[in-house]
Structures are given as C-alpha cells and as structure tokens.
Amino acid sequence: MELEKIAYKIITLKNEDLALRDRLIQSGQLGTGYNEEMAALHNRNAVVLNEIIDSIGYPTIDKVGKEASEAAWLIIQHSIGQPEFMKKCAKLLATAVIEGKANPVNLAYLTDRIASFEGKPQLYGTSFDWDENGELSPKQFDDLTKVNQRRKSIALNTLEEQTQIMRAQAKSESQLPPTNSEERNQQYDEWRKKVGWIK
C-alpha cells in the first residue's frame, strides 16, 4: 500500500476514535469507566496500526505527513488494552525522536502513560486522574522540580499550569469524579491485570 493511502487510513482510524469520544461526551458516558464500545474500537485500531508499523516502521512525519503521524500517536495513546503494542511503539518512537523525525512531546505522553498503567512514577506528569478530594490531579510522579525541568526541556508548560487546564477541560466536558473511588480503583486494578499491565 503506498504511503498516501496509509496516511489516509491512519487519519480515518483517528477520526472514528474521536467521533465515538464526542458521542460519549454528548451522552454523558465518557467519565463512567472504560466504555466497551470504545475499548473494542481502540483494540481494532491498534491491530490495524500494528500491521502498518510492521510494513513501514513507525509512521514518522517524513513517511506519512504531520497529520497522519499525529493520528498514529493518538491511536497508540488510546490502545490501552494492548500493553505490548504500546511498549513496542514507545521504543520505535524514542528512536524516531533521536533521529529528529518525531515530536518529543508525544514520546513524553506515551512514556508517562505506560508508567502510570504499570504503577510507576511519571517523568513528565502528563497522565491525570481524580484524587481523593475529587480533584483532577497528575498521577504519581517522581519529583515536582525534576518533572517541571523535563517539561521545560520539551517546551511544555509547568505541571501546575497544566493541572489548571486539565481541571477546566474536565468541567467543560461535564466529567465528574467517581461516586465510589474504592470500587473504581478495584475495577481499574482488575482491568490492568486482565490486559497485562500488572501481574
């Protein structure tokens, strides 16, 4: 398949993902656990993208253009039921960043996402969740000063500024903290075990 067709295919997958997300926001279902329809779509997209990556390598800007490269990253970010695929992509993306062919911010988000699912501290503080006070806050990270230094090195705002942005976004999307945090955390851990993030 020529690269133009591949780019179009990747963008189409992303658009399907975002269309479903919008529908879930409209119906008030986005913040109520991992929606089954969304999980199925994310897994399907990961399978298709994995086949593309096996044939052309990581979809860098020089191969598929900026829009499709960003779309591929979004699909990878959302393939949370596929730990091995996400880790494989993180390695390929790290190489692409070193070669100057991919955005280091994308690598920061992907690295943090993997760390969070594995129960490890984030390096950039990009993954957020509801805290015990019902506020949207960064998930576990190593050290605020170091996190902000790393964020600055890739031209991101401070973690404090990002926290305000994330909280405002959750409000605008009518996302609410879980009614039963303990039950939600238990379901989250069961899900992580089931898909292979933790043992």
| pLDDT value of position 1 | 64
Domain boundary among 101, 132, 151: 101
Identify whether residues 130 and 97 lie together within a single domain: no
Asked whether residue 88 is assigned to any structural domain, the reply reads no
Mean per-residue pLDDT, 89-99: 97
Q: Give percent helix, percent strand, percent coil of the chain, each to the nearest 5.
A: 65, 5, 30
- Residue 43 in any domain: the answer is yes
Query: Higher pLDDT residue, 48 or 28?
Result: 48
Residues 172 and 122 in one domain: yes
Q: Are residues 110 and 143 in the same domain?
A: yes
Structure pTM? 0.92
Helix (H) or strand (E) holding 183: helix 181-195
pLDDT at 114 over 70: yes
Beta bridge partners of 136: 130
Q: How many residues does the chain have?
A: 199
pLDDT-based confidence at residue 31 (cuts at 50, 70, 90)? low
**Which pLDDT score, from 0 to 100, does residue 88 have?**
98
Residues 172 and 194 in one domain: yes
**For residue 179, what pLDDT is reported?**
86
* Cβ–Cβ < 8 Å for 30, 73: no
Q: Are both 118 and 45 inside the same structural domain?
A: no
Please return the burial class of 9, using the count of CB atoms within 10 Å of its CB with bins 0-12, 13-18 and 19+: middle
Q: What is the pLDDT of residues 127-161, one digit of tens each?
A: 999 998 999 999 999 999 999 999 999 999 999 99
Task: Verify that 97 and 120 share a domain, yes or no.
Answer: no
The domain of 149 spans 103-181+190-199
Q: Verify that 114 and 77 share a domain, yes or no.
A: no
Kindly report the average pLDDT of the chain as a whole number: 94
Q: Do residues 126 and 145 both lie within one domain?
A: yes
Give the model's pLDDT for residue 195: 95
Of 75, 101, 127, the one marking the end of a domain is: 101
Domain boundary among 48, 67, 101: 101
Q: How many structural domains does the chain have? A: 2
